Amino acid sequence: MLVCPESKLRLTSVPIEAAVDKLDDGRGLSTRRGLPADLADVSSVLMREDGACGFPELGRVPVLMAPEAFVASGSLPAVDVSDPRYAEAYDEDEYYSTGAETRMPSTPAELGDVPLGHLIAAAARSSHSFPEPRGLWIDAIYDCAAQHEAYRHLAPVAGKRILQLGGIASHAVKFLLVGAAESWLLTPMIGEARASLRLARAAGVEDRLHCVVGIGEELPFEDAAFDAIYSGGSIHHTVTPLSLFECRRVLRAGGRFAAVDPWRTPFYRIGIAVFGKREPIHCRPLNPARVAPLYEAFSRAQVVHHGALTRYPLLVLQKLGVSASLGAAWWINRVDDLACSMAPGLRRLGSSVTLLGTVGLTD
């Protein structure tokens, strides 16, 4: 299942002592980013089948990013973390990891605004109707229409192996609650992985959740490993000609991909200039050139826009301290989309988009 993110060679877990014996040639271990290997929290190592390197496992979370691979000093080429594949992950690690662990209490009682006990009790009744009722499962208030559409594209999820690519810790756990056989979370941020495991433990589904630190441009999974992939607010942080083809590679025949991301519209530049950014991090909204690989990677692909007239005003109100409820945002989105669908070209100004892809049955 797990492979080297670069070479796709198989990995085998070994005790840390065995990895040191294999890799240390007397000059000490280093990482491929050129730093001394920190073994303090490493529980075991995933050794590549050719023995050239190994990846640290921090408890239940393997770190499968090429720059973090353990090597004998100088035995493999160094990896530059300023490369576009890795730059944002390293720049934003502290912001996202710290935020995730701060937001998620040690014993979570809620998922979003829904009491966890209520969600668990309702999950069995929702396995065939997911993502309905939307009040239970939809949590992206200002992208609620896009998230609902993405979930519908992947449903039903019962019995499937699903990958959550980036984003907040909750989606993989939701899929397990409505019957997914396995959920995997791949994130560059170990804090998100730990938060997701904490939530899964509280929800009683920890045994079916697997978390991996990695990036979308170099997925550390075998070909055709998953039935579905969901990504919420993460694809725009990636190099899409790499990440979208990697998503296609790890999906089985008939597999489905769905992502929710921001779209660059004329209002984006104006809003940033006047009101500033929502968060102090990189944000490179998608545009036609960046989503073009979606149509090359998948047999069937679609980009659907939402919120052309109202999403940015709602975000401005939030910045001014006036937040919409999920119910209000949902109906505002519905009316907005319906009205814009009547005017040619206006719907394509929607700044919240759903990327949908399906792998052909014979691909």
CB atoms within 10 A of CB 5: 23
Question: At which residue do the structure tokens 């080297």 appear?
Answer: 4
**What are the E-state strand segments in 129-282?**
161-165, 182-187, 209-213, 226-232, 251-262
> Contact 196/211 with Cβ under 8 angstroms?
yes
pLDDT in tens, 185-225: 999 999 999 999 999 999 999 999 999 999 999 999 999 99
Q: How far apart are CA 87 and CA 90, in angstroms?
A: 5
Torsion of CA 182, 187, 192, 196, to 10 degrees: 0
Q: How far apart are CA 217 and CA 326, in angstroms?
A: 33
Question: At which residue do the structure tokens 């814009």 appear?
Answer: 340
In sequence order, the 6+-apart residues with CB closer than 8 A to the CB of 252 are 224, 225, 226, 227, 359
Token output for 280: 């102090």
Domains of the chain: 11-79 (no CATH), 98-358 (3.40.50.150)
pLDDT in tens, 330-346: 999 999 999 999 987 89
User: Which pTM was predicted?
Assistant: 0.94
Tens-digit pLDDT string for the chain (363 aa): 999 999 999 999 999 999 988 888 777 788 999 888 888 889 899 999 999 999 999 999 999 999 999 997 667 888 999 999 999 888 887 777 777 777 777 778 788 778 888 888 888 888 889 999 998 999 999 999 999 999 999 999 999 999 999 988 899 999 999 999 999 999 999 999 999 999 999 999 999 999 999 999 999 999 999 999 999 999 999 999 999 999 999 999 999 999 999 999 876 666 555 555 555 556 789 999 999 999 999 999 999 999 998 888 888 788 888 888 899 999 999 999 999 999 878 998 899 999 999 999 887
The secondary element (H helix, E strand) that includes residue 268 is: helix 266-275
Q: Helix (H) and strand (E) counts for the chain?
A: 12, 15
Torsion of CA 36, 217, 169, 282, to 10 degrees: 80
Three-state DSSP class for residue 345: coil
> Contact 114/136 with Cβ under 8 angstroms?
yes
> Contact 298/355 with Cβ under 8 angstroms?
no
Three-state DSSP class for residue 93: helix
* Three-state SS sequence of 119-163: HHHHHHHHCCCCCCCHHHHCCCHHHHHHHHHHHHHHCCCCCCEEE
Strand partners, 25: none
Token output for 39: 């073994």
What residue type is 38 in one-letter code?
D
What pLDDT does residue 25 have?
74
